[in-house]
Chains A and B, each alone.
Chain A
Amino acid sequence: MTGALAAAIAIGLAALGAGLGNGLIVSKTVEGMARQPEASGMLRTTMFIGIAFVEAIPIMGVVVAFIALFQ
């Protein structure tokens, strides 16, 4: 029972962090694309790189949640 509770808390906080982080990144990218449509290719590539960086730590939280779940 404690394994499931620990996993739920871990994945909940990880989802919160990933959601907020990705939201900030994509909103700034959309704003930049609206200001300067000809730069949208470069902005899109940088957005994907930024999302991969931000999602690295919450993904490690997901792995910790899986480890805690099956104990």
Chain B
Amino acid sequence: MNHGEPIREILGIPFNLSNVLMITVSTLIVFIIAVLCTRRLQMKPTGAQNFLEWVVDFVKGIVNSNMDWKTGGRFHLLGVTLIMYVFVSNMLGLPFAFYINGDELLWKSPTADPIITLTLAIMVVGLSHYYGVKLQGPKKYVKGFFKPMAFMFPMKLMEEFSNTLTLGLRLYGNIYAGEVLLNLLVNLAKVSIIGAIAAFPMMMVWQAFSIFIGAIQAFIFTLLTMVYISHKVSDDH
């Protein structure tokens, strides 16, 4: 089973229906989780509110370890959204994979597509540049490129591109490789009864490992977002 892409043309623009569906599903799930956890807010949190408070506190720790709260507080909600969205996206491809028309993959993790992860990475790096200019003024922003040593300017330019590429491709590679291995294990189980008996414990182990990797990659994405923003926005290193 290949990873075919169901591409349909709407008004002359080709859309990958799988991406459209999975992004919608992921957005809805994150929204529902956030709404359900904040019904009946109380000063002493009980039940589901505890979970969301833990997430908010965790991201506050990430922001605080990179910038002071005065400049970093405005990125707190961005971090909470990113970590929840990337985590839910990574988990979506693990329970099922639906194929239509033979080998077009309809249900997968949206982050198993390089377009989506690179879009997220470009958005994050673009945000860091925008906030660099907005919070420090254009002159200090341009001077920051020549900051440690003036001849490092080409390397600092390259650093922006390589940061974007590795941020996007790291997330894509981890999730895509996990999904391909899930596919291979299912194919092994289809071959023979011995194959099915052998594939069962391997599938359990690989599902658990994929959940772990999905969580770690969501954390790393949010952490690197805050690190890149802190490099542009505050300069007390």
User: Which residues from chain A sit less than 8 Å from chain B, CB to CB?
Assistant: 48-49, 52-53, 55-57, 59-60, 62-63, 66, 70
Q: Which of B166, B177, B220 contacts A62 (CB 8 A)?
A: B177
Tell me the smallest distance from the CB of A71 to a CB of chain B, in Å.
Answer: 11
B223 touching A49, Cβ below 8 Å: yes
Tell me the smallest distance from the CB of B147 to a CB of chain A, in Å.
Answer: 23
A52 touching B177, Cβ below 8 Å: no
- Give the top 9 A-B pairs by smallest Cβ distance, nearest first: A59-B173, A56-B170, A52-B220, A62-B177, A63-B173, A60-B173, A59-B174, A60-B169, A66-B180
**Nearest opposing residue in chain A for B167, CB measure:** A56
**Nearest opposing residue in chain B for A66, CB measure:** B180
User: Digit string of B108-131 for contact with A (CB within 8 Å is 1, else 0)?
Assistant: 000000000000000000000000
Q: Which residues of A are found within 8 Å of B216, using beta-carbon distances?
A: 48, 52
Beyond A53-B220, A56-B166, A59-B173, 14 extra complex contacts between A and B, CB < 8 Å: A48-B219, A55-B174, A56-B169, A56-B170, A56-B173, A57-B166, A59-B177, A60-B173, A62-B173, A62-B177, A63-B176, A63-B177, A66-B177, A70-B2
Residues B168-225 near A (CB distance < 8 A)? 169-170, 172-174, 176-177, 180, 216-217, 219-220, 223
B2 touching A52, Cβ below 8 Å: no
Q: Which residues of A are found within 8 Å of B223, using beta-carbon distances?
A: 49
CA distance A62 to B173 in the complex (A): 8
A52 touching B173, Cβ below 8 Å: no
CA distance A48 to B176 in the complex (A): 20
Tell me the smallest distance from the CB of A19 to a CB of chain B, in Å.
Answer: 16
Q: Which of B170, B176, B180 contacts A52 (CB 8 A)?
A: B170
**Nearest opposing residue in chain B for A64, CB measure:** B173
CA distance A63 to B172 in the complex (A): 9
Tell me the smallest distance from the CB of B188 to a CB of chain A, in Å.
Answer: 16
Q: Which residues of B are found within 8 Å of A62, using beta-carbon distances?
A: 173, 177
Given A66-B180, A70-B2, decide whether A59 and B220 contact each other with a Cβ distance below 8 A: no
